[in-house]
Amino acid sequence: MSFEIKDEFYLEGKPFKVISGSIHYFRVVPEYWRDRLEKLRLLGCNTVETYVAWNKHEPNEGEYDFSGGNDLRRFIQIAQEVGLYVILRPAPYICAEWEFGGLPYWLLQDPKMKLRFSYGPFMEKIQRYFDQLLPQVTDLQITHGGPILMMQVENEYGSYANDKKYLRQMAQLMRDKGVVVPLVTSDGPWHDMLDNGTIPDIALPTINCGSDIKKWFDVLRKFHGTKKPLMVMEFWIGWFDAWGDEHHHTTSVEAAAKELRDILAEGSVNIYMFHGGTNFGFTSGANYYEKLAPDVTSYDYDALLTEWGDITPKYQAFQEIIAQYTELPEFALSTKIVKKAYGKLQAKDRVSLFSTLDKLAEPVKSPYPLSMEELNQATGYVYYKSAIGAPRHIEDFRLISCMDRANIFVNESLLMTQYDQEIGVSQKIELTAESNELGILVENMGRVNYSVKMNHQHKGIKDGVIVNGAYRADWEMYSLPMDNLEQVDFSGDYLSGQPSFTRFELEVDEVGDTFIELTGWGKGFVTVNGFNLGRFWEVGPQKRLYLPGPLLKSGKNEIIVFESDGKVGESITFFDQPDLG
């Protein structure tokens, strides 16, 4: 088969309007991939688009994973089985409100690293990654009988830089590794972004926007002429939520529907997002403009399908419009999904982090604090501790180059919490015990995924700790990626006010989707049978965590809640309805 880009898109020589929706395979449990893809097909879409998250597939340099929830190949094959074509966006950078925009943390171990430039070591690492990634998908291109129609070169590059040498190197690398389908770029249509981020002789420019489509299509038409198709690669129909936002973001169904009509009247579309899914574990990213804005666990996005896969009024409105351009398929959904309210669970066990610290990590000793990257750690927490001597008044206490949030303890008692711009502000401390130990629990809240701050995303403590005007030496550090909670020793002591692990047991007769509420708890994350669901935080707006049924099993299930701020409840509650705030 063939897919070509001329004055229009052509499939097998016939004009083809791309009507696509975004689903990120890495934000959906694989047991639900088929359900979400079937609902996309029933909407009337002919194509699914997905990013590829580099840091999911190469979490540590040279270690690759394309299994389970990372089985990109299987996701693409299911799409084809459902009757969908695929737009693949395998750029090293994806943004996507995802930890570090999909870039792996270990890139920052090179102190000279230049991200997203034609910097030799960066290009070498991409090449090694593509050596593993592209063989997973090149035989799934449409020219080989697969569903992949197009692939993207980089992502929104025009909002980052204008290194055309880099873009051309990326495109050539893809060609050298067996990519034969047409290439595209996608950028905002304002400022210099189209000029900066496109290589029109190699890849079709497309645009990303959520409103004023007619205006932006005019801009795109003037940019690349009238002999190329118009496409919105990301038609933003909702928005994402950050911790501390007043409420969950929603958008007007009517306004979004109007913009969809305008797009399809002149060109092709990829709906961003058709289904947002979930930032499981510590995968949520952050933005940074005036202040840090880390994203919540839900990536509902006010999409056509909810985070938990329900059809929305926006879905129905879009389906009516799409029906004017194509015949809607009819078939029964193959996945049975139920929602369950399992009720309130009482805590079984609780232990302070400090009582089980040695079971979770081997301490690393150093004269100075080491960053997460220096500790070969991607996400989670690091606990730093150091003896700071006799009772006295400390006039000047500061953390230098520390991100993102620090709970500061003296003798394992919480003294203060510093977050974002509070970090680095000088504080006064009174030490009253005969001898004193300083402890600092630092959390990575999500590496920034967009704009200039991406170059400065070292987590933990990078420079040091000032005590009375001087850097403090002699540290022990505990890396806490929190991926080994089976090692937690619940027979240890619990002291009120300390970070802690709390264990629950959930007996299940019928497995179903459910939503966990942690009323009275402060900040932390939840694991279910060893799977990290993601963060919770009392600041909201998200009030409940989505727990997909496939993560549960009939019989006994173990729930572990880590809480960092010393604010815990004695119970958690499972509802059959969400609360995104």
Verify whether residue 156 is a known catalytic residue: yes
Residue whose token pair is 């979004």: 256
Using CA atoms in the order 38, 26, 279, 377, what is the torsion angle rounded to 10 degrees?
A: 170
And the tokens for 100?
Answer: 């570090």
Q: Which DSSP string do the residues of 435-458 spell out, in sequence order?
A: SEEEEEEEE----B-SSGGGG---
Question: How many Cα atoms are found within 13 Å in the side-chain-facing hemisphere of 426?
Answer: 7
Q: Distance between the two ends of the chain, CA-based, in angstroms? A: 47
Going by their DSSP bridges, the two strands 47-51 and 19-23 should be labelled as: parallel
And the tokens for 124?
Answer: 């070498």
Judge whether 307 and 581 are in contact, CB under 8 Å: no
What residues pair up with 284 in beta bridges, in sequence order?
A: 98
Closest CA to 282 of 517, 446, 501: 446
Amino acid at position 442, single letter? V
Q: What is the gyration radius of the CA atoms in the chain, in angstroms? A: 25
Verify whether residue 124 is a known catalytic residue: no
CA pair distance 22, 209, nearest whole angstrom: 14
What residues pair up with 394 in beta bridges, in sequence order?
A: 429
Residue 297 Ramachandran class (φ > 0 left, ψ -120 to 50 alpha, else beta): alpha
Helix (H) or strand (E) holding 520: none
Which residue among the candidates 156, 373, 374, 563 is catalytic per the annotation?
Answer: 156
CA pair distance 530, 518, nearest whole angstrom: 18
Give the single-character DSSP code of 328: P
Which residue among the candidates 99, 154, 234, 563 is catalytic per the annotation?
Answer: 234
Q: Report, as residue numbers or ranges, the catalytic residues.
A: 156, 234
